[in-house]
Chain A
Amino acid sequence: MSARADILARCPRHTIDLPRRPRTAARAPHPEAAERLAMRLEQNGGHSQFFSDFEAAGDWLKRRATTVLCPTPDLAAALGLPVEPVTSCDAVDSIVVPCSGAIAPTGTLVISSRHTGPVGRAFLPNTVYLALSHSDIYMRTEDCLRPLIREAPSSLHLISGTSCTGDLGLMFLRLAHGPEHLFVLIVNRPQPGADR
């Protein structure tokens, strides 16, 4: 008997049935969801900037960083940056990638790696900029992940701050393996009082 058949033959099947609750509709974002996201992220070592549109975010990036790579064509066009595929992974200092969603209560940013925009190397540079549209901020993890999973990514990454370790004397120390600096560029925030 194969290992698979052997294991499956021993595994329980429906010994108890728990009712499956219907999936609830996405919870409407809190009016100050973006501010809450920014506050939580700040607590975990990240930073946020608000922009009226992608072009303004691109201008800010050009002023701030001498070289910033953007491997995603659509985002590069929106920001007015040249598309530069990441080839030498350790030589890159800053990178900007699209942020596919965010979860406000935990200050979590989600990046999705899929055929239309691989972002797998986003964890290697010291500084990572994530460009997030205000309409992609959610209040619950499930609501944020639902549309992204439908797009069949190769990976989804939920980032809730800069890399840290608690392994040395149980102290939280910044800078373990992932990015040292993390910025979220929140664009297209509706004006106060405007309908969403």
Chain B
Amino acid sequence: MSDPSFQERVESALKHPTLHDSLSNLKRITDGEIRQVYDESPEYDRWRDEARNARRDAIANLGPLLETFETAAMNNGTVVHWARTHREAAQIAIDICRASGSQRAIKTKSMLSEEIGLVEALEAAGIPCAETDIGEHVIQATGDRPSHVVAPAVHKTLDEVTDWFKSRPDLYGEGDFDADPLQMAGAARTLLRRHFLEADIGFTGGNSLLAEEGAVAVVTNEGNAEVLRSVVRTHVAIVGIEKVIRDYTAFAKVLRVLAPAATGQRITRFTSLFFGPGEDGTRPQHMHVILVDAGRSWLALQAERDALACIRCGACMNQCPVYRSIGGHAYGGTYPGPIGAALQPGLAGIEAHADLFRASTECKRCDEVCPVRIPLTRIMHQWRRKDSQRGVRRLERWSAQAYSFLARHPLAFRLITGLLRRAAGAPWARWLWPIFSSLPATARWRMVYPHPTGGAPGRRIEAPSE
């Protein structure tokens, strides 16, 4: 069976019985904690400029900064690997497991590992890999997929999560999970601590690669990256090449805007810089970094390269009216929301993700809240322009040109819309409707707008003012 189309996923999301309840929590966060931290930080706009400059500098100098990072990391005792594709990255991870004799793996939350399909690849190679982020653990245990870059289980209501915990006393014990959600966090901690202590190898992502210091920066609220690092023999960080940044001062600028934009905290509870393996006699004994390209070097040379400056805070999706309506799964790729619409076409091709950059109301809330000022709406426009140049949507281009003409000529607009209104109400329109609506080009339009004389409320289109 083929994968559902974007339209089918959207329809399914809109009909979902609990999705809107769970997504409404995002509004609570954005209107509460995040607004409060903005209000209390008068320097926040200047911080955003500094963070944007730090990220733009890194993307513009990707080559030299990656070489600098590699040299510094190797001096620290880290083994650096390069992967052109997801498949190469997964294979390197498997090879490291085999070479180190690792039998059990654990990992922290990482969007790139989702992109690669790391857990599935490791398990196919006979190496079970447990997620340690509590949200990711719930997702893994319930056979689901993450739907947000910061809160992977945001699409699940608290009741759904509670029901899951109650249904598995073999994993979480007997607790009064309904009355006290803290007991769920405690039960997950107990279970996951066992996974930590049984693991030989641990995978993390990386929020930044500090080029001059050769360090991998990892940010969490749970502290799972730090616990992982304390117990495993081998630490593997899988990081996209675009995450490189000049040095710790540039990283400090990014760190300053990350948590306020993501969760409304001043700073996340745990931020670690991993420079290399642990000291003699302490863990980890080995550290590897896998630098993954997978389309990033191509995108870095395109006009849409600012999308690579993303620091994965999720602010754009928290504010996006489209994301808040359909959630993350409907987008189909690893990165949902406005950043997904800007980034995915660059990483995986315009053709594969042409629906994403069209799923926008162009309200520009995403541009306003992005802590590194990525012009997301402009990037989506650029993808649309490139997509229309491919010639596959000629009818759409002609329609847009026709509308553009009418919008600039109000008299013509009135004349045409008047004629159309009359035509739609004419008796013979009923006979033409099946022919019109069976055309491939009108199929999507028909999904949303039923026959104007078929009982749907009338819509009046006002002419633009002269």
Contact = CB atoms under 8 A, between A and B. Distances in A.
Nearest to A46: B269
6 contacts: A3-B293, A8-B67, A11-B63, A12-B300, A154-B274, A164-B221
A158 B272 contact: yes
A17 B130 CA distance: 43
Contacts of B136: 167
B344 interface: no
Given A8-B66, A13-B62, 15 more contacts: A13-B63, A14-B61, A106-B266, A120-B229, A120-B279, A121-B282, A123-B226, A124-B227, A149-B213, A154-B277, A156-B275, A161-B269, A175-B182, A175-B186, A177-B192
A195 interface: no
A140 interface: yes
B230 A89 contact: yes
Interface in B112-136: 132-136
A155 B277 CA distance: 9
A131 to B, nearest CB: 19
A106 B257 CA distance: 12
A63 to B, nearest CB: 28
Interface string A133-154: 0000000111001100100111
Given A14-B61, A154-B279, A177-B192, A167 B133 contact: yes
B153 interface: yes
B221 A152 contact: no
A67 B65 CA distance: 47
Interface string B215-233: 0000001111011011100
A18 B60 CA distance: 9
Contacts of B60: 12, 14-18
Interface string B421-437: 00000000000000000
A23 to B, nearest CB: 7
B6 interface: no
Interface stretch (A76-84, A111-119, A185-193): A111-119
Contacts of B224: 176-178
B223 A176 contact: yes
B306 to A, nearest CB: 11
A7 B82 contact: yes
Given A12-B62, A113-B278, A170-B151, A89 B231 contact: yes
B71 interface: no
A148 B70 CA distance: 21
Given A3-B84, A163-B223, A118 B300 contact: no
B286 to A, nearest CB: 12
Given A40-B266, A141-B255, A158-B272, A120 B278 contact: yes
Interface of B: 22, 25-26, 28-29, 53, 56-57, 59-64, 66-67, 70, 76, 82-84, 88, 132-136, 138, 151-154, 157-158, 161, 181-182, 184-186, 188-189, 192-193, 196-197, 213, 221-224, 226-227, 229-231, 241, 248-249, 252, 255-256, 263, 265-283, 291, 293, 297-298, 300-301, 305
A165 interface: yes
A32 interface: no
A113 B213 contact: no
Interface string A27-60: 0000000000000100010000000000000000
B227 A178 contact: yes
A118 B281 CA distance: 9
Contacts of A178: 222-224, 226-227, 269-270
Contacts of A121: 230, 282
A157 interface: yes
A155 B222 contact: no
Which of B28, B157, B272 has the most chain A CB atoms inside 10 A of its CB? Answer: B272
A196 interface: no
A94 interface: no
Nearest to B50: A21
A4 interface: yes
A165 B88 contact: no
A100 to B, nearest CB: 12
A2 interface: yes
A142 B265 CA distance: 19
B271 A149 contact: no
B56 A16 contact: yes
A146 B210 CA distance: 13
A162 B138 CA distance: 22
A113 B280 CA distance: 11
B446 to A, nearest CB: 37
